[in-house]
Amino acid sequence: MWKHLAVHARTNLDIRTETFVETRYGVDFKFDCWAVSVEYINRSRDSTGQSAEDEFRFSVHLLGLGNVLSSRLGTGVADSGPRFK
**CA 61/CA 59 separation, integer angstroms:** 6
- Percent of all residues in the chain with a pLDDT value above 90, rounded to a whole number: 33
85 confidence band (pLDDT: 50, 70, 90): very low
Give residue-wise pLDDT tens across range 37-70.
Answer: 999 999 887 666 677 788 999 998 888 776 666 6
Q: Enumerate the domain spans of the chain.
A: 2-74
pTM greater than 0.75 (yes/no): no
